[in-house]
A and B are shown apart, each in its own frame.
Chain A
């Protein structure tokens, strides 16, 4: 038996989480370093996975399969396709930056007993989320996926509710109340989504008699498993609902601005750049593959919802006064693009959507983490409290600008490629939808540039006059992310090469071919 690489990638952070949580209270610096080392180790394993993955090989690679709960028909079954491996790599890549950026976010305050160890808890929870996210990208058993899809809510919930922007809200009852409200809202939305999916998971088992993704897909393809149209549609809706809450898609998005606004910047990155990707990923892997007919049936409605997300998210981002909530609404707009790309059911669209997931992860991380550094300096999330920062802290302002430009998909930066692919992919099948979606880009330019203008340019405000520039630790976080944005903007081929075969497979599962250019017919 070969080395179980996929299991190791998930188990290492899980063990790291336990070890970090067990570090004695006085040794909190050691806990931080331990967590960072574990996340780097996970990154190394993910890199090995990426290298060992053969884009032109079998559909699911590095597979592992063991009996787990035979009574439920559940197997511990892992395997990655190009989409999965790219997202595992993204997760493993972002976590070290999240940890480094949150280095001081969980330093203990004086309340609480000797045994209250927030620092250890914070980093252990981050690693726990990483482990669960990675395993849900790798699971090819529906039940296994579901377990971790649900279970990751718990550490995430404690991260949102337990750790706020400590620097300025110490002892502030109202802020603590808002934060726990945001955490509960996050958990309830996602839990309701997950429970509805549970009903669909049970229904799927009753219909298909198996939880194995490959088995069900094969059985459906060769006709040995027939699903009644209405059954398929109900099951699809059950799955899609959960993923749409997680993604989040309008009108199920309202938890995201709360959660991202109240959580610390690194946790906000964890939510939007890592955890939410599981939702869009699962649409590609489970909704489209298990329920191809129902997916086609639901496409028009989903496209409309995605369009609303794009435009609505962008419009609300324009109107925000709070930096973090602005980024949250921008993310909702971007998730609209990702879902649009997935359900346009074209190769370019889906490649673009997958690429978008990766790029959005990196660009949001860059923007949000720099915003977090900015906020920690001034102690306010309000845009109006800033002004003229670029004169005081030029490096901070510069990196913030690059993050903003990436968010508006400036050509030359990574998100441009994916957004372009999504739009092209959509336009070939649904020209009108593609045209409306383009407004999202225009609005994106508006909200990011206005954000930059208000906070960074203009006369220097008295409160920011003493603001220090980025420190070495912060530069270490931002510089690699920006380098990646530029690199993938110029040369996205490494990722598209990995992703494209998987997308073609998914397209053939849905039995859709790309629309041919209609030059002849138009004559």
Chain B
């Protein structure tokens, strides 16, 4: 060994040892990330509240913290959008991990509003009859006690309530806020887990029909874990392909504009097999979250088993977050691959629209019915995703906003119709509801008509927007399939209306509970948004249009 070689060993060692002090602190734009940070902070506060605040006042403290935090986060989103971060100042923050742009802010705003209404429905305590003199909500007295056991009875008697649902909800929301704005694959995955895990838990804590609720949670968790694993595997393959987790870099590699190959990855980098497989697996994970056929199997069971306020929130917000992430992935990372993914997504959209609508016809449980309806809606939204145009993005954004309010409102109405066993979700029990409580039935009919896409409701405006974008994007055949499945779907929405208004009420039928102002607010907001977006959608279409450009 020569002296110079030895010397070089020394020098290398010296230079390697030296720069430790020179690692730059990551640059975090706290103001631009404030919506997420506020919600995470509040969630942590919520955990502390569980630990330190006396049991009696926990409920009020938690509701207060959650509502204030979500409202503050929403104002932060509005402030960011008002100062131009949605349009001209859109950029990538947090060292390339998170995008602050129009779609991200629009979807975060939608998720936060859905979250506020979600908190309202979570906090409802007037629907169930009082247990041992305590007002109770939709959640188990003590989630850890075995259903039907003595410890459960003791917990109910002691008047315990699971106020942990509020911090869990906030954690889920924080994950959902990051999900559509994630700008690298690792952030995407972390956000996915952060919002999924609290949701699995929330599904398991129903006060009534606890076994069904726990079964739903286990199913959701197992299938969700599979989906996460697929996503993670896909991420690994994409890293092997591009040598980076960053959306921008992967996009450049796909376009062939990156030439400096990482020597460690020289064997795999730019290998299209990795790209195609990785893309397929990541997209699969996202399609699972939106509930698209053939990854929809969890939807009906989970929607039915979960406590109804959770179902309403999850149905709305998860869809928003997941479609946001899917849009960003397909439009920012993989636009260069659209000739590969479009045919596949075509097929997925078609089977999702038709599958959801056809299977829904045979459902006899209102929550399962709404679950299949949500699958069909996922198909309609996919039609907008496939448009691959700015109109496609804005139409999907608009649809998601419109849809989430209808969904939360509809599930909130479901919580009101009750009999001795809790919520009366079997359709036969809804017979004659229109005679008994015309107002509730009429409100539910408005939501159903919006789901069916009847003009003058938000559902029609949204459907028209995505179908138009799809038609302009050359997917005319998808529009025809969409129209046909709308017609099929209309059948079962109308069946419920027939039941409510044209059937004779049964003598031992359910009663409609009078809710507190909280649920009423959620329902009223749903109705107002549904009608306003149906009659005068222009302002919101403008918002969605301005928000329709991704930053790269």
Contact = CB atoms under 8 A, between A and B. Distances in A.
Interface of A: 67-72, 111-113, 115-117, 146-148, 150-151, 153-154, 157-158, 161-162, 173, 176, 179-180, 183-184, 187-188, 191-192, 195-196, 198-199, 202-203, 205-206
A71 B542 contact: yes
Given A115-B439, A147-B455, A203 B471 contact: yes
Given A183-B502, A199-B479, A203-B471, A112 B436 contact: yes
Q: Is the interface of A mostly helix, strand, loop or mixed?
A: helix
- Please provide the 6 A-B residue pairs with the shortest distance between their CB atoms, ordered closest to farther: A180-B502, A147-B455, A71-B541, A112-B435, A199-B483, A195-B483
B449 A154 contact: yes
B471 to A, nearest CB: 5
Given A187-B490, A199-B480, 4 more contacts: A69-B536, A115-B437, A158-B501, A188-B487
Interface stretch (B59-67, B177-185, B460-468): B460-468
B538 interface: yes
A363 to B, nearest CB: 31
A146 B545 CA distance: 24
Nearest to B439: A115
Contact of B471 (A70, A176, A206): A206
A176 B499 CA distance: 12
B272 interface: no
Nearest to A111: B435
Contacts of B464: 72, 198, 202
Given A69-B538, A202-B479, A203-B476, A188 B494 contact: yes
Contacts of A67: 538
A490 to B, nearest CB: 42
B512 to A, nearest CB: 10
A10 B464 CA distance: 25
B498 A184 contact: yes
Interface in B477-510: 479-480, 483-484, 486-487, 490-491, 494-495, 498, 501-505
Contacts of A70: 538
B116 to A, nearest CB: 27
Contacts of A72: 464-465, 468, 541
Contacts of A176: 502-504
A184 B494 contact: yes
A333 to B, nearest CB: 28
A136 to B, nearest CB: 11
Contacts of B434: 116
A192 B490 CA distance: 9
B455 A150 contact: yes
B398 to A, nearest CB: 9
A198 B495 CA distance: 22
Nearest to A171: B504
A71 B545 contact: yes
19 contacts: A71-B537, A72-B465, A72-B541, A111-B505, A113-B435, A147-B456, A151-B454, A151-B455, A153-B454, A173-B504, A183-B502, A184-B494, A188-B487, A198-B483, A198-B486, A199-B479, A202-B464, A202-B479, A205-B471
Contact of B501 (A161, A192, A198, A203): A161
Q: Which of B464, B467, B541 has the most CB of A within 10 A?
A: B464
B129 interface: no
Given A150-B455, A199-B480, A113 B436 contact: yes
A183 B438 CA distance: 19
Interface of B: 434-439, 449, 454-456, 460-461, 464-465, 467-468, 471-472, 476, 479-480, 483-484, 486-487, 490-491, 494-495, 498, 501-505, 536-538, 541-542, 545
A151 B453 CA distance: 10
A147 B439 CA distance: 25
Nearest to B498: A180
Q: Is the interface of B mostly helix, strand, loop or mixed?
A: helix
B23 to A, nearest CB: 49
A198 B502 CA distance: 28
Contacts of B472: 206
A385 B472 CA distance: 60
A146 B455 contact: yes
A196 B456 CA distance: 18
A71 B502 CA distance: 39
B435 A162 contact: no
B451 to A, nearest CB: 13
Contacts of B439: 115
A192 B538 CA distance: 27
A180 to B, nearest CB: 4
A206 B437 CA distance: 44
Contacts of B504: 111, 173, 176
A353 B32 CA distance: 66
B455 A192 contact: no
B391 to A, nearest CB: 9
A162 B439 CA distance: 16
Contacts of A206: 468, 471-472, 476
A161 B455 contact: no
Nearest to B473: A206
A203 B471 CA distance: 7
A55 to B, nearest CB: 33
A28 to B, nearest CB: 14
A191 B453 CA distance: 10
A112 B438 CA distance: 10
Contacts of A69: 461, 536-538, 541
Given A113-B437, A162-B501, A173-B504, A192 B467 contact: no
A241 to B, nearest CB: 11
Contacts of B467: 198-199, 202
Nearest to A173: B504
Contacts of A148: 455
Contacts of A179: 502
B538 A68 contact: yes
A195 B494 CA distance: 15
Contact of B487 (A180, A195, A205): A195
B182 to A, nearest CB: 29
Contacts of B491: 188
Contacts of A180: 498, 502-503
B209 to A, nearest CB: 28
Contacts of A157: 494
Contacts of A147: 455-456, 460
A147 B459 CA distance: 12
A162 B479 contact: no
Nearest to A205: B468
B483 A151 contact: no
A116 B502 contact: no
Nearest to A201: B464
Contacts of A187: 490, 494
Contact of B498 (A68, A161, A198): A161
Contacts of A153: 454
A129 to B, nearest CB: 14
Contacts of A151: 454-456
Contacts of A146: 455
A61 B476 CA distance: 36
Contacts of A203: 471, 476, 479
A10 to B, nearest CB: 14
A435 B461 CA distance: 48
A420 B434 CA distance: 49
A104 B438 CA distance: 21
Q: Which of B438, B455, B468 has the most CB of A within 10 A?
A: B455
A71 B538 contact: yes
Q: Which of A70, A115, A184, A199 has the most CB of B within 10 A?
A: A199
Contact of A188 (B465, B490, B538, B542): B490
A150 B453 CA distance: 10
B504 to A, nearest CB: 7
A117 B498 contact: no
A196 B503 contact: no
A196 B483 CA distance: 6
A173 B486 CA distance: 31
Nearest to A191: B490
Contacts of A113: 435-438
